[in-house]
Structure 1
Amino acid sequence: MTARVASNRLLALLPESERAEILSQCDELTLKFGETLVESGATYSHVYFPLRGFISLITIMNEKPALESGLVGAEGMLGATLALGVGSAPTRALVQGAGTTLRMDVAVFTTLIERYPRLRRIVMHYLHVMIEQLAQTSACTRFHLVEARLARWLLMTRDRARSDNFDITQQFLACMLGVRRVGVTAAARKMQERGLIDYCRGHIEILDRRGLEAAACSCYKADRAVYRRIMA
């Protein structure tokens, strides 16, 4: 297994022959911070298998701030709904963590999921994981405190960025968590005082992962558990 396929956990589940064909049909390119890969409602032109970095799935509401409804990193792919025959994107896909990705033309991808039942099954299982995680996020937003939700988000981002260091503004965090900026500021300050993170001018460094896991709500462990259960 080549290093770049192994870097994407979804592709790593495929038999060697199928992985080889997918690689031959992909371009490897850089995900640039702030880049929009597809707008909500637009038709996919490509699917993406991130190797490093992460993509925020942003739900847009009329006259309301945007809200993050999911994250895609090396554990999955962008464009999985194509396995259902749905060619339009349900959310805006915004790069929030720069890195590398494999990109495949949609027409090629739809041909391959018809040719390889295992590929289709893996993508469908991943869609199920995303649905369960979306439901978990909805409940989390309603019932859990901002500090616990922020800890969960930082851990989820760390897992996908594969780094303890990443750049994020308080304003963006507030939008992603669906809270006022002052709430994020207070929660981040408490974490910094406890030595869990270092946060300065939009740059976050995770200093104590175990401590951050203890501070996070139960949703973080639930997210990881559903991935292991379904993708196994």
Structure 2
Amino acid sequence: MNLPKGAVLYESGEPIRYTYFPHDAIVSLVETMKDGRLVEVTMFGREGLFGLLSAFVSREALGRYVVQTPGTASRIAVERMHEAIRTYHSLQRLVSSYTEALLAQAFHTVACNTVHSVEARCCRWILSTHDRIDQATVPLTHETLADMLGVQRSTVSTILRTLQTSGLIVQRRGNVVVTNRVGLEQAACECYGKIRSRYEKLLPGTYARLGICR
């Protein structure tokens, strides 16, 4: 199925009916504050799935699931997913490993949002998105990035200009082209490396499948 940019798949508290497996789309789990501000908790791409963790007990969405990068995905009814997990032990182990990696990602993201600079977090977000697509061009607007980082759009514009001046990216309308990935990793905070290492440990080959190898 197609997932258009900006589509909201679940709102906080809504019943979870399907588990989604993104192919090339990227979906963010965000918390919406009373004043309308957004805070990203984690993101999902083709390395995993979403709509399962909270569906084990409450069957309610933890927050808003919104499509950041348009693409396609497969989905399966949560009841059938639960049945498959009970039936196939190898799938159960795989889902457990992914769940731990996802929780670690959310843990580091929360810490990152608290203590690291906006510029470092911006680099982490661009890298995390770049990991999940097959091209140097990342579909990314200033508005989207500002929402995910919880800052003003003008702040994002200033940061992206700085990264471009440093030769790490090139800005194009609605896109960011990664021109120096190594330099971008060096400019990112430590959380990016920690998250990546956890995925590599729990789900070996994840980044090889994503086409991002060192």
Contact 1:55 1:96 in 2 (8 A): yes
Structure 1: 5+ residue stretches without partners: 1-28
- Cα offset, 1:219, TM superposition: 0.9
Q: What are the within-5 Å matches in structure 2 for residues 78-157 of structure 1?
A: 78-81=50-53, 84-157=56-129
Of 213, 216, 219, 2:185 maps to 213
Q: What are the within-5 Å matches in structure 2 for residues 22-41 of structure 1?
A: 29-41=1-13
**How many Å separate the matches in 1 of 2:18 and 2:55?**
13
The answer to whether 1:193 aligns with 2:200 is: no
Identity of aligned residues (%): 36
Structure 2: 5+ residue stretches without partners: 205-214
**How many Å separate the matches in 1 of 2:56 and 2:79?**
14
Residue 134 of structure 2 is matched in structure 1 by 162
**How many Å separate the matches in 2 of 1:79 and 1:123?**
12
Of 172, 179, 201, 2:144 maps to 172
Contact 1:80 1:124 in 2 (8 A): no
Amino acid at match of 2:172: C
Residue 210 of structure 2 is matched in structure 1 by none
- Cα offset, 1:202, TM superposition: 2.5
Residue 195 of structure 2 is matched in structure 1 by 223
Amino acid at match of 2:80: V
- Cα offset, 1:163, TM superposition: 2.4
**How many Å separate the matches in 1 of 2:74 and 2:103?**
23
- Cα offset, 1:32, TM superposition: 1.5
**How many Å separate the matches in 2 of 1:41 and 1:121?**
28
- Segments of 4+ in structure 1 off by > 4 A? none
Q: TM-score, normalised by structure 2?
A: 0.88
Query: What CA RMSD, in Å, does the superposition of the two structures yield over aligned residues?
Result: 1.6
The answer to whether 1:74 aligns with 2:46 is: yes
| 2:132 alignment partner, SS class | helix
Residue 208 of structure 2 is matched in structure 1 by none
**How many Å separate the matches in 1 of 2:50 and 2:147?**
21
Contact 1:43 1:88 in 2 (8 A): yes
Aligned residues: 204
**How many Å separate the matches in 2 of 1:223 and 1:30?**
28
Of 43, 48, 69, 2:15 maps to 43
The 1:80/1:203 distance shift into structure 2, 3 A limit, reads same
Post-superposition Cα deviations, 1:199-232, rounded to whole Å, max 9, x if no partner, equal: 1332211111111111111111111101112224
**How many Å separate the matches in 2 of 1:90 and 1:195?**
38
Post-superposition Cα deviations, 1:51-94, rounded to whole Å, max 9, x if no partner, equal: 21211111112224011111100111011315733411112111
